[in-house]
Amino acid sequence: MKTKTFETRKNLADELADRVRGLVQSSNWPPNAYLPAERELCDRFKVSRVTVRRALGRLVNEGLLEAIPQKGYRPHPVQDGADKPLRLAFIAGQIGANEPWDYVHAGILNAFQQVLLPKSMAVVAVGVKGRAPAEVLKELLDARVNAVALDTSDPFMQDAVVKAGLRCVIVDAISSRTDLDVVLQDNHEGARMAVRHLLARGHKRIGWLGPTRGYVHWSERFGGAREGLWAAGLEFAPEDILQPGNSDAREEAAVLLKRRMESPDAPAAWVCLWQKMVLAAGDVQQAQERKLDLCGWSNEREYRELLAPAFLGGEMPAMVTWRPEELAELAWERLELRAREPRVATCRINVKVRLAEPRSATSVLKQG
């Protein structure tokens, strides 16, 4: 059984940092109060001054503490009480610091801006791909951020944000932590919805175009699609599960589907639950001049502004859609609730999905 005593020199500073972190994050810690002097910490925890300085240095790097010359260490001001107004950062794990934002993440960022605009507030946009958590935390603290909508499943980034004491909600990603709220598209229900739509159109054999594991959206959507087939006593045939390397691999997906469609027993109906996958299927459909019954997935903005022009002159396939605005609203509500009630139970909230039936691309563009 692991004890709470400091047993090994290797973990001494880490264990002390954990003890001090728990001390300053407790509800009993007075606002703006300084930590005891280094000598007092040495005596209290029976460690050397070198160990104390290493532990405090790590908490400074995490952003939990700030060092004030001639005075000592105290919790960073972002730790001040729950009545302090939230200042939000949207962190995208797939975007580098100097990279342009892709359409999906730019859409979510815009949704957060729309939610905060009536409150006369702004959101800080932070791309973190390839960056160390300590560097990201410094940027957040310099910007006086005290709340984070975190779009990454990276456990190291999640741990760093939590240890820094920032209020956090995971958006459009997943977490193995039990102390974080998650707001995510309803992947299971959307995939079941797509399969039910194709079954209702008379198809008994349906194919899958897209990755199936390695990322939460991939595994949950594939699982939901299989559940939809099982409910009808059906299953994907192994040869009808086409898996490109990732959900953005449009050209690879088109090659896989084109090769499969050369077989006379290839299904005419395909579940393509990502924007690039449904575009790849559209490429094959156009090249082979063969009608495919498709069901894709996109947010409502992508549906109108990206997919409709791609299918202009023809019919838009059925599409599972969701609203980034709803994701942003739910995430912000959760952050506000946790600011008022820090001990409220964590949960996962699914963003509602809807099915857009097949219709002409022209009518989608006219509707706006």
Please tell me if the domain spanning 9-75 has the same topology as the one spanning 187-323+354-367: no
User: Each residue of 213-248: pLDDT tens digit?
Assistant: 989 999 999 999 999 999 999 999 999 999 999 999
- Looking at residue 193, what is its pLDDT? 98
Domain boundaries, the chain: 9-75, 88-185+326-351, 187-323+354-367
Third-level CATH fold of 9-75: Arc Repressor Mutant, subunit A (1.10.10)
Q: Which of 141-155, 157-171, 186-200 has the highest mean pLDDT?
A: 186-200
What is the pLDDT, as a whole number, of residue 232?
97
pLDDT at 190 over 60: yes
Dihedral, CA of residue 105, residue 195, residue 286 and residue 357, to nearest 10: -80
Q: What is the pTM of this model?
A: 0.77
| Residue 313 confidence (pLDDT) above 50 | yes
From residue 247, alpha-carbon distances to 77, 100, 209, 296 in Å are 41, 19, 9, 12
Given a cut of 60, whether residue 115 has pLDDT beyond it is: yes
CATH number of 187-323+354-367: 3.40.50.2300
pLDDT for the residue numbered 326: 97
Tens of pLDDT, residue by residue over 40-83, are 999 988 999 999 998 898 888 766 788 888 889 887 665 444 45
Q: Which residues contact 365 (CB under 8 A, 6 or more apart)?
A: 304, 308, 309, 312
Residue 202 CA to residue 269 CA, distance in Å, equals 10
150, β-bridge pairs: 91, 170
Tens digits of residue pLDDT in 149-175 = 999 999 999 999 998 889 999 999 999
For domain 88-185+326-351, which CATH number applies: 3.40.50.2300, 3.60.10.10, 3.90.870.10, 3.40.50.970? 3.40.50.2300
